[in-house]
Structures are given as structure tokens and as C-alpha cells.
Amino acid sequence: MPREGLTGSRIRERRGVVGFKQAELARKIGISASYLNLIEHNRRRIGGKLLLNIARVLGVEPSMLTEGAEVALIATLREAALDAGLPPSDAEYAEDFAGRFPGWAEAMARTHRRIAALERTIETLTDRLAHDPQLAASVHELLTTAAAIRATAAILAEEPDISDEWRNRFHANINDDSRRLADSSKALVAYLDDDQGGSDAASSPQEEVEAFLSANDYSFPELEAGEASIDDMIDAAGDGKDGGPLRSVAARHIARGVLDRVVRDAAQVPMSRLCDALGGAPPDPAALSRSFDAPVPMILRRLASVPGLAAGLVVCDRSGSLIFRRPLPGFDIPRFGACCPLWPLFAVLGHPGQVMHDRVAQLGRGQAEFDTYAASGTVGNPVYNAAPLVQATMLILPRPASEGAAAGDVLRVGSTCRVCPRDGCPGRREPSILSEGF
């Protein structure tokens, strides 16, 4: 059935949403309930004044009834059918299916999208499965439930003469499994959130340090004020004392380097003076660099610790490996694997002294916008006839929603290639599972 021929189905669905009984709507638009019934079952064409009246009573634009919001739905159903192995000729029945069973079509599309999102999560986590039995069990539960939904949904889609008894049973099964999938997903997200907050699941020295920094909210006022020493901080968090996160020698070594830099940064850019200089205005790292006579990367590190800015920070070495990450909501910083090469962080790597200021949005992450400032600087002492070692630093500041979308250009970047939907990106290292399938 052509899409415009499904106007009746859309009227029926919208009536259900609004909560009108068929007779009630018929009365309001001045036709008989039996005629409305024919319209709703796509057995009578509708247009003109009658369509306008129905749209007015149902509170929608007439085009919503004639064209609907079904284009995306039908595309998703086609995709689901092809993913399920149906031939393209069968996938063309998606439109008909959406017209005859709009509720179930929407449920199937939602399930398909949900499965796609879960598959993406699973791919991201694959590297960890061998090391984390709890995560492995959780993912197994998700996959098993997804398998049950997919097998059942495919039967409903592919078997035209299924009996009412089987159909009802399968609908109930999909309902149960969808609920189970939602619960399992929430449990998995909660588990991963706990992990990010710093837990016993840290599996590398870098993660131990991140857990330590996170537990301190990336802020060490006692250290900055000289009321505690680096050794005090390391001892309090290390060697397994009270379940301290710095369990390994390597983690304590890295943490010592981070804290040492905090002390040096704080000596040159004290937090109280920095807050006074900001005075509640948006940060201007270049101006602050001049004011404090401090390198821009140091200013960026200090700004990341300013209370209330809710900033994120990433630092990479000359190889492009992240050596420091302070996450922030809405901007995905990969825990494993390489980051998107389009980040301004990498643009400044070969250009010490250059400061990049960009408006950035991450593809596929809700498109929240951020202000980023990136700069690099040399590390270590100068050596004759050798390229200097550099580190790049990028400060990530959330833009308040009240400011709306940026008027100028926004740099669209990804998180990591594996989960980036961008087509034709010259920086792509590997195919995305979003386009290549699971």
C-alpha cells in the first residue's frame, strides 16, 4: 500500500493517542462512525475539508496525517528486515506492515534501534570481556535477550499465516524480553558508571590513577596550600590501604608525576588568584597566560580544576596517546583505543605556541556543543639536533544550553572511529560498526 494510502491508519493511531473513541471523533467532525471506520482502515480516500477538520480536532498538521512521521519508521523496518536476512523484495513490505500494524511496527523499530545501540555498546566493550567476568555475564545476558527478541520478531515479520495463539504468545514474549533488555541495559550502565567513578575494576595503572583522581574530584586543595605532601597523598591512597585505588607501583609512579605537576602549576597559578581573574566571566586562556606569565597548557590544566566550570581535560604525548583524561558528561573520551584524529588536541601537536579555540560537537552523542581550547608545549630539557618531545592539552568546556547553537562553524568530530557514523572521513582508521554492521 502506498504511503499516502495509510492516512487512515495514522488517523486511527493519532485518535488513540488523543484518547477519543471512534464515535466521539466521528461526532466532532460530523460524519458517521461507520464511515470513519472505513477511513481508518484505509478503505476510503480522504482529503479536502474533511481531512482538515480531522487534523484540527486531533491537534496535528494535516500533513502529519497524509505523510506521517513514518518515513524514518519504514526505513528502520526495511533495515531490520534486511538485517534479519530477508531479501530486498520482502523488505519492501515494510510500508504495508507499518500501515496494517502501526503499533507493532513501531515496537519492532524501537527494538531494532535498541539492539543496534546495544551492539554498539558491546563492540566498544569487547576488549574488556576477557578481563571482566561480571561484564562478560552482563553482555551474555544482553545478547541472549536480543537473540530471543530477534528470533521472535523475525517470525512475526516473516510468517504471514501465523495462528492467533502463536502470535499472541510471541507478542507477550517480545514484551517480556524488551522489559528484560531494558533492565539489563540499565544494570550494565550502572555498573559501567560505577567503574568510571573509580572502583576495584581498574585493570591498568592508568585506570588506578584515574580512580584516584576521580575520588578526589581532580582537586587537591591541601596539597596546593602546602598542608599535605605528595607522599602523604600517595600513601593515603596507595599500597592497598583501606582499599586505596593506587595498588600498583606503576600507578603510584604516575600519580606522583600528576601531583608534582599540580604543585608546580599551583605555585605559578594559584587557584584564588585565578578565580579572581576570571570573576565569573568565560575563560580567556590566552589572556590568562599573559596575565600569569604562564604557558597556555598550564592555564588549561588550572582552568580544568576551577570549581563550577565543569570542564573536561585531555592531554596526549607526541605519539597521540592520551596520558591524562578528565571526563565530562556528553563528550565521550575513549577509555580504550585511539581518539578521533579530528580533535583540536591533535591539530596543535606539531605547533607548540599555537592556541586553537573551537566550537566542537561530537557526532552521534546528542550533538551537545563544547568550547575547546588546545595548545601544546615541549617537555624535558632541550637537546641538540633532536625534535623536541611535546605534549598537547585540550580544555573542554560545556556550552550552556541557554546559549543555543553556535552561530559560527562547529567542528563535528567523533569519539573513536569504531563507533563514529561519519561517512567519507579522511581521518578514518577503521570501519565503523554503525555502517559496517555488527
Partner 1 sequence: MGKHVLLVEDELNIVEAMRFLLSRDGWRVEAHSDGASAVEVIRGTRPDLVVLDVMLPGKSGFDILGELREDATTADLPVLMLTARGQARDRDMAEKAGVSRFMTKPFSNTEVLNAVRDLMRG
Q: Where are the alpha helices (DSSP H) in 293-354?
A: 296-304, 344-347
**What value, to the nearest 5°, has the Cα angle with vertex 394 and ends 306 and 313?**
45
Q: Which is nearer to partner 1, 24 or 119 (CB)?
A: 119
Q: Which is nearer to partner 1, 159 or 200 (CB)?
A: 159
Number of residues binding to partner 1, judged by CB under 8 A? 28
Q: How far is the CB of 435 from partner 1 (least distance, A)?
A: 19
Q: Which is nearer to partner 1, 150 or 326 (CB)?
A: 150
CA–chain centroid gap for 78, Å, is 25
The 58-87 contact track toward partner 1, x by CB under 8 A, reads --------------------------xx--
Q: How far is the CB of 204 from partner 1 (least distance, A)?
A: 21
Choose which of 107, 154, 323, 338 interacts with partner 1 (CB under 8 A): 154
- At residue 390, φ and ψ (nearest 5 deg) are -125, 155
* 361, three cell numbers: 560537537
Q: Which is nearer to partner 1, 111 or 376 (CB)?
A: 111
Beta strand pairing call for 411-413 and 355-362:
parallel
* 303, three cell numbers: 582552568
Which region among 70-78, 154-162, 336-344, 387-395 touches partner 1 (by CB under 8 A)?
154-162
Question: CA-to-CA distance for 296 and 283, rounded, in angstroms?
Answer: 12
Q: How far is the CB of 119 from partner 1 (least distance, A)?
A: 9
- At residue 145, φ and ψ (nearest 5 deg) are -65, -40
15 near 57, Cβ under 8 Å?
A: no
Q: Which is nearer to partner 1, 50 or 148 (CB)?
A: 148
In order, the DSSP letters of 126-137 are GGGGGG-HHHHH
* 431, three cell numbers: 570501519
319 near 354, Cβ under 8 Å?
A: no
Evaluate the CA torsion angle 338, 342, 345, 350 in order and state its sign: positive
Q: Which is nearer to partner 1, 97 or 218 (CB)?
A: 97
99 near 41, Cβ under 8 Å?
A: no
Q: How far is the CB of 273 from partner 1 (least distance, A)?
A: 54
The 330-369 contact track toward partner 1, x by CB under 8 A, reads ----------------------------------------
Q: Which is nearer to partner 1, 139 or 213 (CB)?
A: 139
153 near 76, Cβ under 8 Å?
A: no
Q: Which is nearer to partner 1, 108 or 361 (CB)?
A: 108
Choose which of 158, 235, 284, 317 interacts with partner 1 (CB under 8 A): 158
Closest CA to 301 of 283, 313, 291: 313
Q: What is the dihedral of CA 56, 57, 59, 61, to 10 degrees?
A: -30
Q: How far is the CB of 399 from partner 1 (least distance, A)?
A: 39
The 123-152 contact track toward partner 1, x by CB under 8 A, reads ---x--xx--------xx--xxxxxxxxxx
Q: Which is nearer to partner 1, 176 or 217 (CB)?
A: 176
Q: Of 170-209, which residues contact partner 1 (CB under 8 A)?
A: 170, 173, 176-177
Q: How far is the CB of 438 from partner 1 (least distance, A)?
A: 8
Helix or strand run (H / E) with residue 374: strand 369-379
The 84-103 contact track toward partner 1, x by CB under 8 A, reads xx------------------
Helix (H, G, I), strand (E, B) or coil at 436: helix
Question: CA-to-CA distance for 7 and 42, rounded, in angstroms?
Answer: 7
Is residue 166 involved in binding partner 1 (CB under 8 A)? yes
* Number of helical H runs and strand E runs in the chain: 20, 6
Q: How far is the CB of 379 from partner 1 (least distance, A)?
A: 39
Is residue 110 involved in binding partner 1 (CB under 8 A)? no
Give the length of the chain. Answer: 438
Q: How far is the CB of 77 from partner 1 (least distance, A)?
A: 16
Q: Which is nearer to partner 1, 157 or 269 (CB)?
A: 157
Residues of this chain that interact with partner 1 (CB under 8 A) are 84-85, 115, 126, 129-130, 139-140, 143-152, 154-155, 158-159, 166, 169-170, 173, 176-177
